[in-house]
């Protein structure tokens, strides 16, 4: 069950990177300007061939609040975030934020997300609640994105409007309660999976309106394999959750059978 406790440590912002040399320095500066002075920024780089990791090391040398976690190879968004979450939890983080490293999530929304994270267990920067939206996308891409969130919401039976959002603020208690070892999604299905696991644990989730922008520099990491994973992973989450619930019910019935 959720444990409503005051923040016990600073906020940590996790920035996963792969070939983000054109964005990472500007993003760290913009995000740092919107975060509390006590906050930490952790760049998780998957051995980017474009030199993102070297830029991250220089930023860490120049700024005490910036750290770098180097990973040996590209394994996907999910494993990178989980590695970052573990480092933040070990470092005493009270709130853990995640956002894309390409300015599609605007740093100006960070204070709003932190404020919501102080009230709820998980705050989500949402494109699909009143006041939210998307800029720079054509009608087809908008339809695909909105349809993907609607599909996940329908299959999982939850009310969160933007299940695929990657702009979040977790209380540390949420990530401690979620079995991070059991998280299997590697691509953007990871965002759906974490939110769904938080909901199943009984944590309070709120959505904060944001306007999502298309990246201005660098190239998108989205490909067909990521889309395919999201399509089959969502029903798998629902059925896996149902089996877990059934096993718990059997365990409880055995526990109280005399």
Give residue 19's domain range.
11-255
Residue 221 forms part of a structural domain: yes
Band of pLDDT at residue 151, cut at 50, 70 and 90: confident
Model pLDDT, residue 1 = 42
Residue 3 forms part of a structural domain: no
Model pLDDT, residue 150 = 85
Q: How far is CA 229 from the centre of its chain?
A: 17
Residue 1 forms part of a structural domain: no
Model pLDDT, residue 227 = 56
- CATH number for the domain that contains residue 154: 3.90.550.10
Residue 5 forms part of a structural domain: no
Residue 168 forms part of a structural domain: yes
Residue 69 forms part of a structural domain: yes
Model pLDDT, residue 247 = 40
Model pLDDT, residue 126 = 97
Tokens of 136: 């720079």
Q: What's the total number of domains in the chain?
A: 1
pLDDT of 91-145, one tens digit each?
999 999 999 999 999 999 999 999 999 999 999 999 999 999 998 777 777 777 7
Query: Is residue 28 predicted with pLDDT exceeding 50?
Result: yes
- Residue 95 sits at the vertex; the CA angle it makes with 93 and 96, to the nearest 5 degrees, is 85
Model pLDDT, residue 117 = 94
Band of pLDDT at residue 239, cut at 50, 70 and 90: low
Q: What is the pTM of this model?
A: 0.84
Of 199, 200, 182, 192, the closest CA to residue 230 belongs to: 192
Helix (H, G, I), strand (E, B) or coil at 70: strand
Model pLDDT, residue 244 = 42
Least confident of 55-64, 70-79, 183-192: 183-192
pLDDT of 213-223, one tens digit each?
986 665 555 55
How many angstroms separate the CA atoms of 90 and 213, rounded?
A: 32
Average pLDDT, rounded, for the chain: 85
């Amino acid at each position: 069950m959720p444990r409503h406790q005051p923040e016990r440590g600073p906020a940590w912002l996790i920035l996963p990177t792969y070939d983000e040399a054109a964005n990472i320095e500007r993003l760290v500066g913009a995000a740092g300007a919107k975060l509390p002075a006590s906050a930490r920024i952790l760049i998780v780089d998957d051995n980017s061939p474009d030199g993102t990791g070297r830029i991250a090391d220089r930023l860490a040398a120049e700024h005490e609040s910036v750290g770098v976690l180097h990973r040996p190879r590209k394994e996907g968004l999910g494993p990178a975030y989980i590695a970052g979450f573990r480092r933040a939890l070990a470092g005493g983080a009270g709130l853990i934020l995640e956002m894309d490293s390409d300015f599609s999530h605007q740093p100006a929304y960070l204070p709003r997300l932190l404020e919501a994270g102080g009230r709820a267990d998980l705050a989500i920067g949402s494109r699909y609640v009143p006041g939210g939206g998307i800029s720079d996308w054509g009608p087809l891409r908008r339809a695909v994105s909105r349809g993907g969130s609607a599909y996940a919401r329908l299959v999982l039976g939850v009310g969160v409007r933007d299940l695929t959002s990657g702009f979040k603020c977790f209380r540390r208690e949420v990530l401690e309660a979620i079995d991070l070892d059991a998280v299997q999604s590697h691509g953007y299905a990871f965002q759906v999976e974490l939110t769904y696991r938080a909901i199943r644990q009984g944590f309070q989730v709120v959505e904060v309106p944001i306007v999502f922008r298309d990246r201005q520099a660098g190239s998108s990491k989205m490909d067909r394999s990521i889309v395919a994973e999201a399509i089959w992973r969502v029903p798998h989450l629902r059925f896996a959750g149902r089996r877990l619930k059934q096993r718990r019910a059997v365990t409880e019935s055995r526990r109280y059978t005399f």
